[in-house]
Amino acid sequence: MIDFIFFTKTSTRHARLAQPRIETSSKLTARQSFASLLSTSVLLGLFIYGHTNIAYAGEREQAKRMHDRIAGVPPTSDVLDNMAADILAGNASDAAYTAMEHTAFYDVTLKNLAAPWTNEAMSSFVPLNDYTATIIGLVRDDKDFRTILYGDVLYEADSSLNLSNNYSMTNNDHYEELEETGLSLKDSLTPIAQSARNGLPASATAGVMTSRAAAKSFFKDGTNRAMFRFTALNHLCNDMEQLNDISRTPDRIRQDVSRSPGGDSRIFLNSCIGCHSGMDPLAQSFAYYEYDYDVATDPDGENGSIGYNTAGITDPVTGTRVQSKYHNNATNFEYGYVTPNDHWDNYWREGQNKLLGWDNTLTGSGDGAKSMGEELAHSTAFAECQVTKVFKNVCLRSPVDSTDRLTISNMVTSFANSGYNLKQVFADSAVYCMGD
């Protein structure tokens, strides 16, 4: 307001000096001319003053918007100044990385992003667990994000915190206590080999798929197809309806799938086969896994743990290392596939799902969850899925037009060039949408 008054007075003075000589007989006309010139001068002053401040406020508003969306909280004045200066200097990506230094990026943004991936209800309102903590830790440490599906990795609270609950195979107390302390996850998490905590051989670890939280949600009961379905949904952004392809060979569909549901074989041929022909050969990679709990005393499995049949263990039902659940409802179609081991094949490397962009340096076949997780994580669909989710999270909207889609494509390339560092995706998204 002070600048405005000063400018107005200055402009008025110059306006008076610039007034042409007016005859006394034309006082009314002179007053009208002076008023018109004064009004023009004031408007010009307002425009110049306003334009200068809009340009300055633009960088600050963009910086604040960027920080709010990345961290979920407003920046301090010093941080805002630094981010605005970076944006003005053409270094908007640096401003985004500054926002990611805030603890709330880890405690709130990343936790809320990953929490729905850990449960079938896809709810964000779940306690911190080993799945979520591992996602947060890998992002914090700039690791290859693809390893979330095949790494021998786990993040837990640093031992220096002296929590009363250590990591446990049979409960989530360690992570709930960490969350209740209010300590920043940015500073509190430390990596450790997953195989050192959950009893699995290193060769049987598969990132978050073999975390306790994932096992409780997706290996508990059922036929282990849930683990594949939710992994595809959360990390390839495709559910079974999108992956349905009735052109694939049905030779690996298990016995529990009726070939004539409701007495009508057309339903199987035109619907069921589309999902199971591709899903069952891939879900076979989980054949040795189970979530063990006492149904009588712990019906919700709160105190259960991941189970795995190592070499030498024979399931009493199957007579092999394969978990008994793979032989559930074997009489539905006794001529169906009987799972003998954990060998998997990706039938979706051909047909319409070839468009998911499978890695040609991989064979499309293997044994166990680790190699199958690598198959999924090294697909183009995996990278596109992560980019799209971060884009929505930061920009608060889905891609809507060709410009957005081109940007997503460029961000996928940037993601790959960064070594699959998810922070790069947050930075690219924030820069693209800082003017929205």
Under the banding of pLDDT at 50, 70 and 90, the label for residue 54 is very low
CA distance 429 to 196: 36
As a whole number of angstroms, the distance between CA 360 and CA 216 comes to 33
| pLDDT tens-digit series, residues 265-274 | 999 999 999 9
Residue 219 has pLDDT above 60, yes or no: yes
Average pLDDT over residues 300-308: 98
Q: What is the pLDDT of residues 345-364, one digit of tens each?
A: 999 999 999 999 999 999 99
Give the whole-number percent of the chain exceeding pLDDT 90.
86
CA distances 189 to 47, 99, 181, 184, 354, Å, are 52, 20, 13, 9, 38
Is the pLDDT reported for residue 367 higher than 70?
Answer: yes
Lowest average pLDDT, out of 16-20, 188-192, 239-243, 425-429, goes to: 16-20
pLDDT of residue 198 exceeding 70:
yes
3-state secondary structure of 18: coil
Predicted pLDDT at 307: 98
Averaged pLDDT for residues 103-127: 98
Give me the chain's average pLDDT, please: 90
Q: 426 or 26: whose pLDDT is higher?
A: 426
Tell whether the model's pLDDT for residue 41 goes beyond 60: no
Residue 24 pLDDT > 70: no
Confidence class for position 436, pLDDT limits 50, 70, 90:
confident
Question: What would the two tokens of residue 45 be?
Answer: 């002053």
- Token pair of 296, please? 């009588």
pLDDT in tens, 66-112: 999 999 999 999 999 999 999 999 999 999 999 999 999 999 999 99
Backbone angles phi, psi at 160, to 5 degrees: -65, -15
* pLDDT given at position 291: 98
Are 387 and 399 a contacting pair, CB within 8 Å? no
Q: What is the pLDDT of residues 129-162, one digit of tens each?
A: 999 999 999 999 999 999 999 999 999 999 999 9
- Please determine, for residue 19, whether its predicted confidence score (pLDDT) is greater than 80: no
Nearest to 379 by CA among 351, 360, 400: 360
> For residue 31, what pLDDT band results from cuts at 50, 70 and 90?
very low
Mean pLDDT of 295-300: 97
**327 or 20, higher pLDDT:** 327
DSSP 179-245: HHHT--HHHHEEEE-GGGTS---GGG--GGGGSHHHIIIIISSTTSHHHHHHHHHHHSS--HHHH--
Task: Classify the phi-psi angles of 383: left when phi > 0, otherwise alpha if psi is within -120 to 50, otherwise beta.
Answer: alpha
User: Could you state, in order of their start, the residue ranges of all structural domains in the chain?
Assistant: 2-15+29-99, 100-219, 223-372, 382-433
